[in-house]
């Protein structure tokens, strides 16, 4: 995808980037749209990631459940 403005770069492809709190890149989930607008965790166990981008909703499974305030995931062992 081509940059739209002079302050954008094509060197960083659109994706959800997985980072440590220290800023180390652990991985990325490619998204084939040029503008990611939102994401949320869902599903019974919290391991389904929903990504809205452009006119599309993408879903993917992830190994670790996302953090939520309430309610806790039904499959969670944290009590």
Q: What is the pLDDT of residues 11-42, one digit of tens each?
A: 778 899 999 999 999 999 999 887 899 999 99
Indicate whether 79 belongs to any domain.
Answer: no
Indicate whether 78 belongs to any domain.
Answer: no
Domain containing 50 equals: 15-61
Structure-token match 């929903």, residue found: 50
Position 74 confidence tier, pLDDT thresholds 50, 70, 90: low
Asked if pLDDT for residue 73 goes beyond 70, the answer is no
d(CA 42, CA 49): 6
Indicate whether 29 belongs to any domain.
Answer: yes
Q: Name the domain count of the chain.
A: 1
Indicate whether 47 belongs to any domain.
Answer: yes
Asked if pLDDT for residue 1 goes beyond 70, the answer is no
What is the helix (H) or strand (E) element at residue 29, kind and residue range? strand 25-30
Indicate whether 68 belongs to any domain.
Answer: no
Longest Cα separation, the chain: 49
Q: What is the mean pLDDT of residues 49-56?
A: 93
């Amino acid at each position: 995808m081509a940059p739209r403005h002079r302050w954008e770069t094509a060197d960083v492809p659109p994706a959800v980037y997985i980072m440590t709190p220290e800023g180390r890149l652990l991985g990325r989930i490619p998204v084939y749209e040029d503008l990611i607008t939102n994401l949320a965790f869902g599903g019974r166990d919290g391991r389904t990631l929903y990504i809205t981008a452009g006119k599309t909703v993408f879903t993917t499974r992830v190994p670790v459940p996302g953090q939520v305030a309430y309610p806790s995931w039904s499959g969670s062992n944290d009590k």
